[in-house]
Amino acid sequence: MKRYMSAVILGGAVILGGCSTTDETPTPDTAQTETATTGSPDAHGHHNHDTDGAAVPEAMVPADNPTYPVGSTVRLNTAHMEGMQGAEARIVGAYRTYAYAVDYIPTTGGEEVRDHKWVVQEEILDAEPDRIPDGTEVTLLADHMDGMERARATVVGSTDETVYVVDYDMDGMTMHNHMWVVESEIEPLS
């Protein structure tokens, strides 16, 4: 019982500290946001992902013949969240879209979040199908972090690389359905 309560308390602390996730195993068309939590190592704060049950946007188009197909095991070469850099991950979704780095001020108040990576085209209100130019102000539909949904943002960078949803292990815990990692942030296991 003590071990169970310790796990519950530790799990609660982790959830309060960062990215929450769901335990559902997604398919490429229904990947869900994360259910475990961590803090972000960078200046743009922590991911929250407490959108249990929130699916990949309906308009997302699966990638044709992605470099890393669903089910592939890869190594992450990015640090969106603590513990990601160098982590082994499993691809659970691969999509064709534009991904954007954005600066925004949370709707909940606080300091500006700078260079948040990534928000996809389908998570931007009234986005046209064309790539959004850097410097454009947009309204976010994504809720990756507290205060992100409906925040006004400025696009500060973009890519047309394949975007992936991944599961990865961190400190003995599996982070399910992390959205988004772009192709250049992934490398094959060697």
Structure tokens at 57: 């946007």
Whether the full predicted model's pTM is greater than 0.85, yes or no, is no
Q: In sequence order, what DSSP letters do the residues of 126-165 get, joined into one string?
A: T--SSPPPTT-EEEB---SSTT-TT-EEEEEEEE-S-EEE
Local structure of residue 104 (DSSP, 8 states): E
> pLDDT 10s per residue in the chain (190 long)?
444 444 433 443 333 333 333 333 333 333 433 434 333 333 334 344 332 334 799 999 999 999 999 999 999 999 888 889 999 999 999 999 999 999 999 999 999 999 999 999 999 999 999 999 999 999 999 988 889 999 999 999 999 999 999 999 888 888 899 999 999 999 999 7
Please name which of 18, 19, 15, 163 lies closest in space to residue 92, comparing C-alpha atoms: 163
Q: How far apart are CA 141 and CA 57, in angstroms?
A: 10
